[in-house]
Structure 1
Amino acid sequence: MTLRVPFVAIVFALLCPLSNEAYGHSFSVKDDIAMVRFSDPSFDPAIVGSEIARPSPHGDYVAIVTTKGLLATDEVESDLTVFRMKELSAFLDGEGTRPQPRIVASIVSYPHREQTISYAPVIKDLRWSPDGKGIYFRGENGSGAYQLYLARADGSGSHALTPADQSVDRFDVVADTVVYKVSMLVDKHRSEIAKINSDAFAATGARIQDVVFPSQLGTLEPEVFAISVLQHTNGRWFARRVPGDPSTEMTYLSALFPFVLSPKGHQLVAPMPVSTIPDTWQRFEPVTGSEYLRLLPGKDAQITNAGETLRPLQYMLIDLDTGKRTPLTDAPNARSLGYPFDNSRVAWTTDEKRVLATNTFLGTHDDNPLERNRPCGVASFDLPSFEPRCLFFEGKDLDRTAFHIEEVSFGSSDDEAIVTLTQRPNRRVTRRYRFFQDSWHLAGEDSAADIGTGSAGLVSPDISDVQISVRQSLNEPPKLWVSSRRTGKAREAWDPNPQLADMSFGEASHYEWEDKSGHHWSGLLVKPVGYQSGQRYPLVVQMYNYVDGEFTTDGLHPTAFAARHLASVGFVVLQVRRQVDTLSEADPEVHLEGYRSAIDSLAAAGMVDRNRVGVVGFSWTCWYAVNAIIKDPQLFKAATIADGLDNSYMQYLMFGAGSESLERQMEQIRQTAPFGHGLKKWVDEAPGFHLDQVQAPVRIEAINPLSVLQEWELYASLRLQNKPVDLIYFPHGTHIHQKPLERLESQQGSVDWFRFWLQGYEDPDPAKAAQYERWRGFAKLRAAAAQSYASPTGTTPAPSLP
C-alpha cells in the first residue's frame, strides 16, 4: 500500500461523445481495468440521489473518490479528489475556467475481502468533519487493514489515525469524537472447532471450510471486533477501548447496516450478532417462499456462527462510557429472514430521548399479534424506557417494484418522522408521520418523479445553488457535471477518462421479449462494433442482472462477464435480468425458456446465428446455465460457469452439513432430503446425475479453495466422461473479481473461450500457446465423439482428455 498527497491539481481534457464508428482500437478488457470509475458518489437506482456528490457542511468543497486498476502491479488505485464549489459555480456561470480537481489523498492496494460491489475502492466511507475542513475515510493498506484517515480539504496533508495492524470496519463522527469498530489482523482467523489436544479437534457440526481450509479463505474469514473511541483534545488524538466483550463477525455485509453515534457522542446504535436464538423468535415470519429461513431455536444453532451471511443481528444501544449493551427490542433485524429491499437505518433526536430504526421485527407489545410477526418498516423507541411503536408494518411478499425504505430522519420536532421511500427505477416518496395520542399517524406524502432532482445528501439550498453529480448512460461513460437546482443549467465539469474518446464501442440498448409461457423478460443488448443489419453474429447470453442507466462494460460484474469486450470482437451479447426465484425446480425450467425465447427472438430478427451461441452462468445463475446445457444440449455451443451453486447432490453434502440455512434451502428446492425415498427425487432432478447429456465445451472458474469443492462435481464428471472441460483456478480470488490480473484472466479468458468455439479464432499471443494447445485437444475430442455417434456400431473408442 502506498499513500501519497500531491499538491498540484490535475486538469483533464474534454471527452467528445462516443460513437459506434471506430476512432482507434475497440474497447478491451485491459481498457476496462484501466478505466477510472466513480466510487463516491456511486449510482444506485435504488437510492435516490446516489449519483450526487456530498458537499462539505458549509458548502466550500465537494469530495469525490475515483478508482482504477493497475495491471502492472496487480493493484487498484483510489484517489480522493476535492473541488472548490466557488470555482464550479463560476464555471457554470461561464465566468471562470474549467475547475481544477485537487487530489488530497491517494491509496494503492487492493480489496482483500469479499465485496458486494464491482470495482471496489480502497478509499471508503467519506465523512466530512463538522467544520468542513477535513475528510475522514477508511483506506485499505497492503496488509488488508482499513486504517482511519483524516485528509485536509485544502490539500495540506493527510494522515492515518489508527495503526497499520488494526482494521476499522465501521465508524461515525460527532464533533471531536470518532467511534469505530476495529479488529486486529492477528485475530483475523479464529477457528470455532473445539481443540481436544495438540493433535485432535472435535469437528462435529463444523462447516467443511473450517475443517479442510481453516486458514486459506482469507477473503471470507470472520474477524474479532472491539469498539473504540478517538477523541481530539488539545491538538492530539487519544484512543480508548469501550469496555465489553469483542464480537466475531464477517465484514461482507456490514456496510448494509447502520453504525450511528448519538448527538452528544456517548451512545451508539448498531446491529450486533446474537449468540443464541430465543424460543420466541420462531414466531417471526420469513419472506414468502423462504420458510427455511425461520429462526428455530436448537436446530438452527449453526445459523449464529460468525461465518453465516444470514446470521441474525439485533439493534443494540451501546453506552460508550460503560460498555453496557441493551437491545432496542427483543427481536432480530428483518434482513436475516429474507427482507433485503428495505434499507436498515437509524436516526437520533437531538436530546437523545428517541431513536428511529428501520427493517426490524419487534418484541412483545400490544399491537395486533398478526402484524407483530411481520417486520416493522420503521420503529421508534423512547429512551430510557425502550418502549417500541411501529409507524407501519411490512408485508411478507418480496416485490422489487414496490416502494422500499431508503432513509429515515426526524423532522422539525421529536414528534415528526420523515421516511423516504424509493421505487425502482426513479420514483421517490417522502412520508411525514406525527406522534400524537400515544401513536404515530401518517400526516402527509410528497412525491418526486425525477431521480436526478433529488436532494439527498445535498447542502441546503440557502447555502448553495450548485449541485455536483455524476451523469452517465448505457453508452456514455460517467462524467462529473455541475448544475443549478434553480435554473436547471448544466455543464460537464470533469471527464476522468479522456482516453475513451479514441476507442470504439458496441452500442448497448434495452431489449424485451416474452417466452411461450407469457413470462416477460428484459435485458441489455450489446451489438458488435461495426454492426451491419442483416448479418448474423455469434451470440453470448449472460444472465444475472443489469443496472439500468449505468454505463455498461462487462454487463454487471467482472467475473466471467465480458459484454462490451465480446462486442469488440464481433459478438452480440445479451445481459439478461433473471426472474424472481421461487426456490423450486421450476426456477431452472423458467430460465431455460428464457434462454430459448431470447435466442428465438434475436434469430427471428436476423441478428444472430442460433448455431453459434454461448452462455455464461455466474453465482446463482450457474444453476440455470448448467440445467440448460443438460436439458437442451444443442442450445449452447460453449459455456462458462463461474463460482456458483447448481444445487446438486455433492454440493448438498459438502456445504449443507454445518450450514442450516443452505441445507434447508436445497431441501426446499426439491421438497425433500436426498436420503431414503427422497434420494430418487434427487437422482431425477439434481444436475450432477445428468451430466452425461452435456455436449457444450465448459469453462469452469473456481475462486478460492472452497469454490474448487463447489465446482468439482461438475468438473470431475465431465472430465471422467472425456467431455471438453477447462478448470481455471483463482486461489486467492473473490466472488466478484477485484484484482486486475484476476479480472484479466476471468474476462479475457472467457472472451478467448467463446472466440475459439464460436468463431474458430486463436489469439496469436505466444503467452497463450498452452491454452490453445489444451483447447485444440478438446476440439479433437469432440470431433472423435461426433464420429463415434455417427458410426453404425457406435464402437469407436473415445480418446483421453489432454
Structure 2
Amino acid sequence: MIEMTTPGEDLYVGGIFQKEKIASFSPDRTHFIIVLKRGDLADNAVHYEIRLFDAAAAMKANGGTIILERDSSTNRPALEQVKWADNDTLTFIARGSRERSAVYSMDIYTRTLKPLAQSDGNIYSYAIDADKRIITFLAQQKSDNTLTAEEQHEGVDISTQSLFGLLTNRYHFDEDFFADLYVRSLVTGKGRRIVAIGRILAWQPLALSPDGKHLVVETYISHDLPPIWNHYLDPMLLSQLNVVRHDTSQLFVGEFLLVDLKTGSSRPLLNSPTPMGVQPDVLWSPDSKSVALAGIFLPLDASNQISDEVRRRTKFVAEVSIESGKVSPISTEAVELLKWEKGSDRLFTRKGRWEAGDVDAGADIVFSKHNAEWHVDSSVCAEMERSSSVSVTLKQGMNEPPKVIATDTETGLRHVVLDLNPQFQRLEFGRVEDLGHINNRDIPVDAGIYLPVGYVSGKKYPLIIQTHGWDPEQFWIDGPFTTAAAAQVFAGHGFVVAQVAQNRNDKNTLPNIREEAANYDALIDILVRRGMVDESRIGIIGFSVTGWGVKYALTHSRYHFAAATLADPSDGGYFKYLALLNSFPAMGNILERINGGLPVGDGIQKWIATGLGFGVERITTPLRLETNAPESLFSNWETFTLLQRLNSPVDFVLIPDGDHVLIKPWNRLASQGGNVDWFRFWLQGYADPNPEKTRQYHRWEGLCSLQRSTSKELPSQCIEATHNRLH
C-alpha cells in the first residue's frame, strides 16, 4: 500500500481525480510527460520520477523514458509543479535535503538542469512569463524567533501569539503556512522581494501575465473589511467576517490582488472576497490586458446591488480589465478555465465544480465576446486536443488498479501506455461494491464496501468504517487519504470495510455533525440487514473534519463501537477553544457555532450537552488517538487526559514529524499499520507476534484489563489476543 505507485502531482492528493490531467503535453503536442511517486520503506523516502513519451508513438509505447528522478525524505515533494516552458524545456520545483529548494529548467533531450530561482527554505509556487524573462515565486518566510533586548529585560507582552509558539520559544514568527513573494529577472539575475498587501498563503498559485508585467494572486486580507461584504450569503464566509478578533492579521478572508511587478505596488483586483471552500481559477488574456476569474463573488454596489440576490449568493465567471477595473460577467456555470484563444475573444472552459476537492470534469464550453458581452458560443466545438491524434487519460475503478491509457482520437483504438502497479497482478484484493445512497435526507450521502478476501455470503464479519470519502470511480487501496486508512489491508485480514462520502453541508454546525453520525448508523443498519457484519465487532476511524462526527457517534450512536480511532481530528473541546482563541479567533468562532455560544455562564451547559468536549465519560469504546505534529496536540489533549483520568482505555500516539495527510513511509506505517494492529486486537483477538511490537501490545493489554474491570462490554477479543501472545 505504501509503496504503490501513484500520480505525483498535488492535484491527486486527498482522492482528487482528474483523469484527463495525468499527462502534460508539450505546446506542439509532440511529447507528453507523466510525474509519478512511490514510497520506499527501506529508506523512509518518497521516490519521484518524470517519464517522457513520444506522442506519435504513444499507441505502441510502454512505460516511456525516465528523464529525472529525485527522492524526498521530508513532508514536501521532491518534484513539484512540473510544466512545459517550450517544446524542449520543462520547469519544476525540486527539493534537496533539509527543505532547501529551487526552481529548475531542464532540456528534455540533454537532461541539462539550470537553476532559475533558489531559496534556503521551501519554494511553494512559481510562474514564468511567455518570453521567459521574469520568474515570480513564493518562498518560505524568514522568521526571527529571538527575544528583543527589551523583551528579555521587561518580559513578553502576550496578545495574539499562539500558545504553541510561546511554549516553543517561537515569539516572532508568522504562521508557517504564509509565504513571501519574490520576482527575479532571468536575464540579469537580479531579484527582490515584493511586499504585497495582505498575507499570501503558501502553495497559492501565481497567475503571471504573458508580458510579465502584472501578477494576480489570492491573499488573506490585512485591512479593515468593507461593511458591504457582510451582505454576501455565504455561511462560512460570514463566520469569518463576524469573528471577534484583536487585529486584522487574524483574518482568514481572501481577496484577489493585482501586483505591478515593475513598481512593486499592489491593489485589490475586485471589491469582493473570495468564497470560502472554493478554489478559484485565474486565466490571463493573451494581450495581458484583462484576466478571467472563475468561482468568484462579483462586487456589490452600495447604491443598488445589496438587494441583488444573485450576486449575494452566486459564484461567477467574469472578466476584469486591468486598466479600468471594469468587471464583465461571463457565466454562473461552474467551469475550469482552459484556454483564452490568441487573436480572438474566445474562452475555452470545461464544466465541473468549484468546491475544493471536487473536480468531476464535464463537457467543454466555449464563451465568445461580442460588443463587450460574453455568451456561450454553440457554433464552436471545444475540442482542446484537436491538434493531436492521441489523448491520454488515467483509467481506474473501484476494482481496477490505475493504468495510463492512450486513445487514437480518429479510430478510437486504445493502448495501455503504463501500468502503474503491475505487481498487483500477484495480489488478491477484496471485492469492492458501491452501495449508493445510504440515507433518505435532502442531501443524500453515498458509501461503498470492501468485502473480505474469500468472502462467504451469510457469514458475519467484523466491520471497519472509514469516514472521509467514497468514490466508486477510483481505486483506493487505503482510502482517499493516507492517514489511518487501510481499506484493502483490512479486507485482506477478514474485515468488511465501509467508506462513507462526506456530508456536503457546512460541517461547522451541530445539526450537521449529528447528521454525519446518523449516516454511520444508517450504514450499519444496511449491513446488519444484509447479514454481513457482527454487531458486537464494529470499529470506526475519524480523520480531520470527520473527527467531529465520529466523536459524536461514540456518545450517541444506537450501536456500540468495539474500538475507534480519532486521527489528527477536528475537535470541539473546551481546551482547544482556549488554546487557539487569541491567535486563531476564527476557530473560536467555529467552536462557538457548534457548541451554542460562549462557554461562560449558562452557555457552558450547551457545551456540556453537545458531548464534543465535555461528556467524554460517555465514551465506553477503547479509543486510539493520533496526532501528526506537536502543534496539533491541542486537538486530542482534552479527550486523552480526561479519559485517562477516568481510567478509560485510551491510547495516544504522537507522530512528531508528520503532516496532516501523512507522507513519509515510516509515518504512514505507524498510522496505517498501527490501526490495522489496533482493530485486529480489539475486534479479532489477534496480536502480531513480531517482537518489535511487544511494547505496543503490552500497552494494549493494560487497556484490555482496564476495560474488563470498568465496562459491562466484555472485551473478549482483546482477552483472547493477550492469551495467545503470552502463551
Task: Give the TM-score taking structure 2 as reference length.
Answer: 0.89
Alignment partners' CA distance in 2, 1:100 and 1:659: 48
Alignment partners' CA distance in 1, 2:330 and 2:392: 34
Could you tell me whether the CA contact under 8 Å between 1:560 and 1:747 is conserved in 2? yes
Could you tell me whether the CA contact under 8 Å between 2:159 and 2:582 is conserved in 1? no
User: 2:253 is matched with which residue?
Assistant: 312
Change (3 A) 1:416 1:650: same
User: 2:400 is matched with which residue?
Assistant: 476
Paired amino acid for 1:778: L
User: 2:719 is matched with which residue?
Assistant: none
Bigger drift between 631-640 and 59-68 goes to: 631-640
User: 1:39 is matched with which residue?
Assistant: 8
Alignment partners' CA distance in 2, 1:316 and 1:590: 38
Paired amino acid for 2:375: L
Alignment partners' CA distance in 1, 2:502 and 2:713: 38
User: 1:197 is matched with which residue?
Assistant: 151
1:544 aligns with 2:468: yes
1:357 aligns with 2:293: yes
- The equivalent position to 1:277 in structure 2, one of 221, 224, 229, is 224
- The equivalent position to 1:404 in structure 2, one of 318, 329, 334, is 334
> What displacement does 1:386 show?
1.8
Change (3 A) 1:633 1:354: closer
> What displacement does 1:634 show?
5.1
Q: Report the number of matched residues.
A: 704
1:743 aligns with 2:668: yes
User: 2:327 is matched with which residue?
Assistant: 388
Q: Could you list the per-position Cα deviations for residues 625-656 of structure 1 after superposition, in whole angstroms to 9, with x for gaps in the alignment?
A: 11112224852000011111231222222223
**RMSD between superposed Cα atoms in Å:** 3.2
Alignment partners' CA distance in 2, 1:80 and 1:518: 45
- The equivalent position to 1:101 in structure 2, one of 57, 64, 83, is 64
Could you tell me whether the CA contact under 8 Å between 1:304 and 1:312 is conserved in 2? no
- The equivalent position to 1:344 in structure 2, one of 269, 277, 280, is 280
Change (3 A) 1:197 1:361: same
**After superposition, where does 1:221-236 map in structure 2 within 5 Å?**
221-232=176-187
1:422 aligns with 2:352: yes
> What displacement does 1:246 show?
6.3
Could you tell me whether the CA contact under 8 Å between 2:366 and 2:377 is conserved in 1? yes
Could you tell me whether the CA contact under 8 Å between 1:128 and 1:135 is conserved in 2? yes
Alignment partners' CA distance in 2, 1:300 and 1:156: 52
1:76 aligns with 2:46: yes
Alignment partners' CA distance in 2, 1:773 and 1:264: 65
Could you tell me whether the CA contact under 8 Å between 2:119 and 2:139 is conserved in 1? no
Paired amino acid for 1:381: V
Change (3 A) 1:738 1:410: same
Alignment partners' CA distance in 2, 1:499 and 1:523: 28
Alignment partners' CA distance in 1, 2:242 and 2:345: 34
**After superposition, where does 1:5-44 map in structure 2 within 5 Å?**
32-40=1-9
User: 1:183 is matched with which residue?
Assistant: 139
Alignment partners' CA distance in 2, 1:156 and 1:226: 29
- The equivalent position to 1:442 in structure 2, one of 361, 372, 375, is 375
Alignment partners' CA distance in 2, 1:313 and 1:426: 25
Runs (5+) with no aligned partner, structure 2: 716-727
Paired amino acid for 1:165: D
Change (3 A) 1:105 1:158: farther
Change (3 A) 1:227 1:627: same
Matched-pair identity in %: 24
User: 1:323 is matched with which residue?
Assistant: 264
Runs (5+) with no aligned partner, structure 1: 1-31, 92-97, 114-120, 233-237, 395-402, 449-453, 791-802
Q: Could you list the per-position Cα deviations for residues 696-727 of structure 1 after superposition, in whole angstroms to 9, with x for gaps in the alignment?
A: 10010012122222201111111111111100
Counterpart of 2:407 in 1: which secondary structure? strand
Could you tell me whether the CA contact under 8 Å between 1:428 and 1:447 is conserved in 2? no
Alignment partners' CA distance in 2, 1:192 and 1:287: 41
**After superposition, where does 1:462-541 map in structure 2 within 5 Å?**
462=387, 464-515=388-439, 520-541=444-465
Alignment partners' CA distance in 2, 1:643 and 1:149: 35
Task: Give the TM-score taking structure 1 as reference length.
Answer: 0.81
Alignment partners' CA distance in 2, 1:219 and 1:729: 24
User: 2:318 is matched with which residue?
Assistant: 379
Alignment partners' CA distance in 1, 2:667 and 2:231: 42
- The equivalent position to 2:57 in structure 1, one of 60, 63, 87, is 87
User: 1:672 is matched with which residue?
Assistant: 597
Counterpart of 1:606 in 2: which secondary structure? coil
Change (3 A) 1:588 1:362: closer
1:615 aligns with 2:615: no
Q: Could you list the per-position Cα deviations for residues 37-84 of structure 1 after superposition, in whole angstroms to 9, with x for gaps in the alignment?
A: 122496699776544412111222111110011112211111011112
Change (3 A) 1:282 1:301: farther
Bigger drift between 527-536 and 266-275 goes to: 266-275
Could you tell me whether the CA contact under 8 Å between 1:637 and 1:696 is conserved in 2? yes
Alignment partners' CA distance in 2, 1:640 and 1:663: 25
Bigger drift between 68-77 and 263-272 goes to: 263-272
User: 1:702 is matched with which residue?
Assistant: 627
Paired amino acid for 1:530: G
Alignment partners' CA distance in 2, 1:728 and 1:389: 53
Alignment partners' CA distance in 1, 2:503 and 2:671: 25
- The equivalent position to 1:133 in structure 2, one of 61, 84, 88, is 88
Paired amino acid for 2:189: A
Which structure's relative contact order is higher, taking Cα pairs within 8 Å and 6+ residues apart? 1
Q: Could you list the per-position Cα deviations for residues 365-387 of structure 1 after superposition, in whole angstroms to 9, with x for gaps in the alignment?
A: 58744335456512222232222
Bigger drift between 354-363 and 673-682 goes to: 354-363
Q: Could you list the per-position Cα deviations for residues 92-149 of structure 1 after superposition, in whole angstroms to 9, with x for gaps in the alignment?
A: xxxxxx4452211111114436xxxxxxx4211121122x111101112222133111
Alignment partners' CA distance in 1, 2:174 and 2:79: 18
> What displacement does 1:513 show?
4.7
1:370 aligns with 2:307: yes
User: 1:259 is matched with which residue?
Assistant: 206
Could you tell me whether the CA contact under 8 Å between 1:268 and 1:319 is conserved in 2? yes
Paired amino acid for 2:475: F
Change (3 A) 1:767 1:165: same
> What displacement does 1:155 show?
4.9
Change (3 A) 1:598 1:272: closer
Alignment partners' CA distance in 1, 2:617 and 2:213: 64
Paired amino acid for 1:539: L
Change (3 A) 1:79 1:747: same
Could you tell me whether the CA contact under 8 Å between 1:43 and 1:550 is conserved in 2? no
> What displacement does 1:251 show?
4.7
Could you tell me whether the CA contact under 8 Å between 1:627 and 1:687 is conserved in 2? yes
Paired amino acid for 1:272: T
Q: Could you list the per-position Cα deviations for residues 732-782 of structure 1 after superposition, in whole angstroms to 9, with x for gaps in the alignment?
A: 211110111010010010000000000000000000011111111111112
Change (3 A) 1:218 1:751: farther
**After superposition, where does 1:568-647 map in structure 2 within 5 Å?**
568-582=492-506, 583-632=508-557, 635-647=560-572
> What displacement does 1:615 show?
0.6
> What displacement does 1:249 show?
4.9
